[in-house]
Amino acid sequence: ADVVVEGGRIVAVGRTSASDRDAIVDASGLVVAPGFIDSHSHADFTLPANPAGDALLRQGCTTVVTGNCGFSPWPFAHGATADAREHGRFLDVQHDHRWRSLDEYAATLDRAGLGVNVAPLCGHGAARTGVLGSVDRPASGGERDEVVSLIERALDDGAFGVSFGLSYPHGRAADRAELAAVAATTAAHGGVLAVHLRDEGAELLEAVAEMTTLADDAGCRLQLSHHKAAGLAQRGLVARSLEMIDVGRASGIDVAIDAYPYTMGATTLAAALPDWCTGSGDDELRRLVTADATRDRLLVELRAGTTRFTLPEIWVAGASPRWQGVVGGLLVDRAAELRRDPAELLLDVVATEGSSASMLVFCMAPDDVHAVLRHPGTIVGSDGWVLEPAPGVHPRNFQTFPQMLDAGFRRTVGLDLGDAVARMTGDVAMRFGISDRGAIAPGYAADLVLFDPDRIGPGGSLGDPAGPPRGVHAVFVNGLSGIPAGRVLRRSRSQRPRNLRVGADRAADR
Instruction: Quote the pLDDT of residue 21.
Output: 65
What residue ranges of the chain are covered by domains with CATH 3.20.20.140?
2-16+27-263+365-476
Q: Is the pLDDT of residue 332 over 80?
A: yes
Specify the higher pLDDT residue, 89 or 405.
405
Cα dihedral sign, 28-31-37-41: negative
Paired sense of beta strands 9-14 and 31-34, if any: unpaired
Instruction: Quote the pLDDT of residue 234.
Output: 92
Closest by CA to 346, choosing from 360, 336, 356, 332, is 332
State the Rg of the chain over Cα: 22
Q: How high is the mean pLDDT of the chain? A: 91
pLDDT-based confidence at 498, cuts 50/70/90? very low
Whether the predicted model's global pTM rises above the 0.75 cut: yes
How far is it, in rounded angstroms, from Cα 87 to Cα 70? 10
How far is it, in rounded angstroms, from Cα 307 to Cα 508? 44
Which distant-in-sequence residues (6+ apart) come within 8 Å of 339 by Cβ?
none
- What does the DSSP assignment read for 320-340? -GGGTTTTTEEHHHHHHHHT-
Instruction: Quote the pLDDT of residue 296.
Output: 96
264 in Cβ contact with 254 (< 8 Å): no
In the three-class reduction of DSSP (H, G, I as helix; E, B as strand; rest coil), residue 497 is classed as coil
pLDDT-based confidence at 301, cuts 50/70/90? very high
pLDDT tens digits for range 436-488: 999 999 999 999 999 999 999 999 887 788 889 999 999 999 999 977 888 99
Phi/psi at 318 (5° precision): -155, 140
How far is it, in rounded angstroms, from Cα 472 to Cα 35? 11
163 in Cβ contact with 258 (< 8 Å): no
How far is it, in rounded angstroms, from Cα 379 to Cα 177? 30
How far is it, in rounded angstroms, from Cα 419 to Cα 427? 10
How far is it, in rounded angstroms, from Cα 336 to Cα 4? 60
492 in Cβ contact with 435 (< 8 Å): yes
pLDDT-based confidence at 507, cuts 50/70/90? very low
Paired sense of beta strands 122-123 and 329-330, if any: unpaired
Supply the DSSP symbol for 100: S
116 in Cβ contact with 486 (< 8 Å): yes
* CATH architecture, domain defined by 2-16+27-263+365-476: Alpha-Beta Barrel (3.20)
- Residues 7-18 as b/e (b if ≥16 CB within 10 A, e otherwise) read eeebeebeeeee
How far is it, in rounded angstroms, from Cα 217 to Cα 211? 10
226 in Cβ contact with 327 (< 8 Å): no
Q: Is the pLDDT of residue 391 over 80?
A: no
Phi/psi at 194 (5° precision): -100, 130
Instruction: Quote the pLDDT of residue 433.
Output: 97
How far is it, in rounded angstroms, from Cα 37 to Cα 425? 5
pLDDT-based confidence at 94, cuts 50/70/90? low
H-only helix segments in 72-203? 82-86, 102-112, 124-132, 141-156, 169-172, 176-188
159 in Cβ contact with 491 (< 8 Å): yes
